[in-house]
């Protein structure tokens, strides 16, 4: 599901190079099928157009860590002047991206035969990776954590774009651009 870079980034985030197996339906392929099933360019506002891709857990017997990977449909393009939430750094990935030491998201536009009507009005998709059950501020190198979350989110975004068959991989590069926008 994730690139080699993202695998290394997961180790930065969790401290573990290994993870528990996810459920059989916890795949980008399953999430892409679910997303394409609810996509409609005729709906002016999203209504329940969100879903899980997977959860990532550290192995039993190691410090508990849970990451949640989700997707969400958008029906308007992000504006260049949109500011990221407090604590997030805006990045040059996709149409719009931002990362924090415990979460990141990437928005991209997809034109694909798997998204009916997207040739006229592209599907705008946000991929999100966030740490669950956070009770305290992230510890360690904050910039390294931001970059790690951005790398994992970029990887699942690119995997989703490829799975959906987005034209030109939805403009996502092979490697994440981690410099602030």
Token pair recorded at residue 61: 């017997």
Q: How far apart are the first and last CA of the chain?
A: 27
> What is the predicted pLDDT for the residue at 180?
92
Neighbouring CB atoms inside 10 A of 21's CB total 8
Tell me the two tokens of residue 93.
Answer: 């990935």
Residue reference for tokens 């969400």: 72
pLDDT digits (tens, 9 = 90+) for 5-54: 998 999 998 888 888 877 888 899 999 999 998 887 666 665 558 899 99
- pLDDT per position as a tens digit, 124-145: 999 999 998 765 666 778 999 9
pTM of the predicted model as reported, rounded to 2 decimal places = 0.92
């Amino acid at each position: 599901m994730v690139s080699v870079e993202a695998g290394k980034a997961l180790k930065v985030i969790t401290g573990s190079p290994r993870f528990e197996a996810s459920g059989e339906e916890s795949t980008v392929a399953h999430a892409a099928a679910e997303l394409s099933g609810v996509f409609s360019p005729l709906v002016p506002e999203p209504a329940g157009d969100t879903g899980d891709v997977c959860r990532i857990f550290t192995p039993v017997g190691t410090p508990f860590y849970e990451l949640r990977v989700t997707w969400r449909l958008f029906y308007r393009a992000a504006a260049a002047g949109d500011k990221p939430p407090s604590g997030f750094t805006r990045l040059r990935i996709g149409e719009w991206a931002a990362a924090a030491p415990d979460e990141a998201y990437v928005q991209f536009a997809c034109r694909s035969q798997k998204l009916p009507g997207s040739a006229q009005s592209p599907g705008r998709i946000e991929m999100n990776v966030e740490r669950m059950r956070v009770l305290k501020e992230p510890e360690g190198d904050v910039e390294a954590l931001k970059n790690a979350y951005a790398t994992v989110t970029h990887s699942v975004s690119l995997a989703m774009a490829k799975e959906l068959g987005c034209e030109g991989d939805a403009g996502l590069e092979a490697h994440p651009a981690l410099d602030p926008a």
